[in-house]
A and B are shown apart, each in its own frame.
Chain A
Amino acid sequence: MDIGFLYSTFLTLMAALPTTLALFALSVFIGGLLALLVVWMRVSGNPVLSAFAKVYIFVFRGSPLLIQMFLIFYGLAQFSIVRHSFLWPYLREPFDCAVLSLALCTAGYSAEIFRGGIRAVSAKEIEAAKAIGMSGFLLVRRILAPIAFRHALPAYSTEVVLMMKSTALASLVTVWEVTGVAQRLISQTYRTMEVFLCAAVIYLVLNFILLQAFALLEYALSRHRRAPSFATVDAAKTA
């Protein structure tokens, strides 16, 4: 083992970490907001909105993310209307295209995950909310969304971990994130094993932190499901 080489590789890859994290954070954030919009359309009861949401979810779940990314980065530039639009300064940037395609894709998956959470909310708890005079956004904000989010959290944490790994695809549209830099290092050094191992460890550590955070969140949000003794101890602590 060449510790010195591993160390310098690690430092080089870490320099690309901010790019990976930015890709990840932006696409999860934008994709999450988009997912809320899509799931709202999906369960709205309006047949046109619902059909649009179904098609959206099918297209983005049914085709490879890599192809979606290529279509946005290489494909859109073929249309002069795109090249002359106000969006062109963004759509010619590899980073912006990668965020866009990651966000669009995760929105499709997340919308379905959120819909599953909504379906799991007991109709009785909704009726109780209506019976005290709640409706519309207030009912969603106070009752429906908090319960649905708790149901959706385990599946959503998996989706977020997948997104962390999917940022590696951005290297194929020339974004210099961790995987892209690793490939560049390999083409210069031909030391595939060490470099990719280093990259894999970085992703593992990131996802370990992410999963711990989700586990903590899930723990904090599921006090009502644990044995009463734990709940009263927790309640006594916060009281």
Chain B
Amino acid sequence: MSDALPLSVRNIRKSFGRHEVLKGISLDARQGDVISLLGASGSGKSTFLRCINLLEIANGGEIWVDGEQVRWHHKAGRTRVDSQKQIDRIRSNLGMVFQSFNLWSHMTILENVIEGPVHVLKRPKADCRAEAETLLEKVGIADKRNAYPAHLSGGQQQRAAIARALAMKPKVMLFDEPTSALDPELVGDVLRVMRALAEDGMTMLVVTHEMGFARTVSNRVVFMKEGLIDSSGTPDEMFGGAASPAFHQFIGHFER
């Protein structure tokens, strides 16, 4: 195991046209950290997550994943990555869970889960299949292995998507509002899976509106406001009253 941080982000900036969404964000994740990213919509938290796994290319800053820096260069106001190969490798080390699951609709759940290990990591199919069965067991949908995504509830689809990401054995898991598209009664199943993952020591970065999760599962809470980190700390510090006025105002919306 290397001493390098699983994830280190330095001074990330991102603009869409003339609108600056991220104004310089830095964040370190140590092994086993579970970081909740909170913020009002438009604060840039989803964009930040998408910049980390390079679905959006930042306009400036540095990204280090497991000790390896993403290589890019800036030319005429645009940022270009130096090597698509490196990007692919780094992405395969970052498990991404999307708000709307994004399972591949033409593949069964099992096929979704083994797709990456078999075709990106080029590992033997039988091994991948066995591991996928274990993962599906773990997220509680082993009986759905031969079903197609459209035949599953949202909660089941999201748990399948988590299994798909875990099958790549990522260094860090990124969650982009994983429960926001779910009916309230299905949220619990997904949060339980995420909590178990955290207890297993997975390094996680979670964009969420689930205050309960942020408070009880994560060991760090980061509050973003208008493209900057407004405040951060342990859940006790943040929810205990020591946080910024802006954060208090923000969590006020959730206490109805």
Contacts and interface: CB of A to CB of B under 8 A. Distances in A.
Given A134-B119, A223-B148, A231-B147, A128 B88 contact: no
A224 interface: yes
A157 B149 CA distance: 27
B144 to A, nearest CB: 10
A228 B151 contact: yes
Given A143-B104, A232-B147, A235-B146, A128 B98 contact: yes
Contact of B147 (A129, A134, A228): A228
Given A132-B165, A134-B120, A224 B105 contact: yes
Nearest to B117: A132
Contacts, number: 87
Contact of A142 (B119, B146, B148, B164): B119
Contacts of B87: 135
Contacts of A134: 88, 116, 119-120
Nearest to B53: A131
A87 B146 CA distance: 53
Contact of B105 (A125, A127, A131, A138): A125
Interface string A126-148: 01111111111010001100110
Category for how many chain B residues contact A: 20 to 34
A158 B104 CA distance: 27
A150 interface: yes
Given A225-B150, A235-B146, A133 B115 contact: no
Contacts of A136: 84
A127 B102 contact: yes
A132 B120 contact: yes
A134 B102 CA distance: 15
A38 B148 CA distance: 33
A interface bracket (residues with beta carbon within 8 Å of B): 20 to 34
Given A124-B98, A228-B151, A132 B92 contact: yes
B91 interface: yes
A1 interface: no
B242 interface: no
A124 B106 contact: no
Interface string A145-166: 0110010000000000000000
15 contacts: A125-B104, A128-B103, A131-B91, A132-B120, A133-B88, A133-B91, A146-B106, A150-B106, A224-B105, A224-B107, A228-B147, A228-B151, A231-B151, A232-B146, A235-B108
Interface of A: 122, 124-125, 127-136, 138, 142-143, 146-147, 150, 221, 223-225, 228, 231-232, 235-236, 239
Interface of B: 53, 55, 84, 87-89, 91-92, 94, 96, 98, 100, 102-108, 115-116, 119-120, 146-151, 161, 164-165, 168
